[in-house]
Amino acid sequence: MKTVFINCSPKKRFCASAYFLSLQRLFVGGEKITERLRTPADDERILQKLQDADAVVFCLPLYVDGVPSHVLRFMEKMEAHCLAGGLRFHVYCIANNGFIEGKQNEPLMRVFECFCARAGLTWGGGVGVGGGVMLNVYRIVYAAQLGLLLLRTVLNAVETGSFLAQGALLSFAESTAIILFLNLGVLVYLIRMGCHIRKGTFSGKKYTRIMVPSFLFILFADIFFVIISLFEGGLFRGWLSRKKYQEPSTPHGSALA
Ligand SMILES: Cc1cc2nc3c(=O)[nH]c(=O)nc-3n(C[C@H](O)[C@H](O)[C@H](O)COP(=O)(O)O)c2cc1C
């Protein structure tokens, strides 16, 4: 069985789609191929990988209550490609959004459902995840905590000769419990969808969210976006992307000229 996973986030690094995709991969057996769809240059390469696929899993962010435009453009090409080649496989979808309710991904799921009907493919269902940004930020924090645990273990070994840094282990166990709890809904539905992908059956549309009460989510989201805005919207993207310097253009005949 061959499953093609397509990460459709346009972000270069640290995207939430990559996170959910890697979780889904854990619960699917057989041959697994992961592709990235960011620009039109990726289209042809991905289409070639679909040739003998049994299932395709799209993992993408919700943009303006819908499918991001670069994914729509790819879907148009894929529809023609599948019809011309008589391709038949199941299509599944994992969508995540910034706001807390996963149900906001419903219109996006319907687009995929219609796409499958048009392209002669079988709609396998999907999972919509609310609070995707927050889950993604927490998994980055968790990775940093793992690094901290290793560091404290080494320091403890140097100081006391024992690798058992009890305090560090306890605080890491606490973080593990928190991340598992926050991701509980996501894990349940991804495990469930993984079973359906393996069997080639319909998993239905399921919506879940980060497991925090809405009032707490709003509080944290407000703090997060205030910090982000202090960095002119690019705390992660801005730091990590390579920037090209552009000469500021002087408007012809303006007061500045
Ligand atoms: C252009 C744009 C439009 C967005 N529109 C929505 C939206 O309508 N609803 C929502 O809840 N989140 C929206 N978001 C937030 C993304 O869905 C969210 O950041 C998601 O976690 C990004 O996933 P990624 O990291 O895999 O790219 C939007 C983000 C961008 C950049």
**Average pLDDT of the chain, as a whole number:** 92
What are 79-94's pLDDT values in tens digits? 999 999 999 999 999 9
Query: How far apart (Å, rounded) are the C-alpha atoms in residues 109 and 84?
Result: 24
Least confident interval from 47-56, 139-148, 155-164: 155-164
* Closest-CA residue to 125 (of 172, 193, 219, 191): 193
pTM for the full predicted model? 0.90
Q: Whose CA is nearest to atom 3 of ligand 1?
A: 63
- Give yes or no for residue 236 having a pLDDT over 70: no
How far does the centroid of ligand 1 lie from the alpha carbon of residue 68, in Å? 9
Asked if the model's pLDDT at residue 193 lies above 50, the reply is yes
Q: Atom 8 (ligand 1): residue with closest C-alpha?
A: 64
Distance of CA 196 to the CA centre of its chain: 20
Calpha distance 95→234 (Å, rounded): 22
Q: Does the CB atom of residue 98 touch ligand 1 within 6 A? A: yes
Task: Tell me if 24 CB under 6 Å of ligand 1.
Answer: no
Q: Give the per-residue pLDDT at 64.
A: 96
Provide the residue ranges of all domains of the chain, joining segments of one domain with +. 2-234
Q: pLDDT band for 75, please (50, 70, 90 cuts).
A: very high
Q: Whose CA is nearest to atom 19 of ligand 1?
A: 98
Distance (Å, whole) CA 175 – CA 78: 42
Range 60-75 average pLDDT: 97
In angstroms, the CA 22 to CA 36 distance is 13
CATH topology of domain 2-234: Rossmann fold (3.40.50)
Rounded distance between C-alpha atoms, residue 204 and residue 35, angstroms: 24
Which pLDDT value is given to residue 256?
Answer: 41
| Nearest in space to 107 (alpha carbons), one of 61, 66, 57 | 66
| pLDDT of 255 strictly over 50 | no
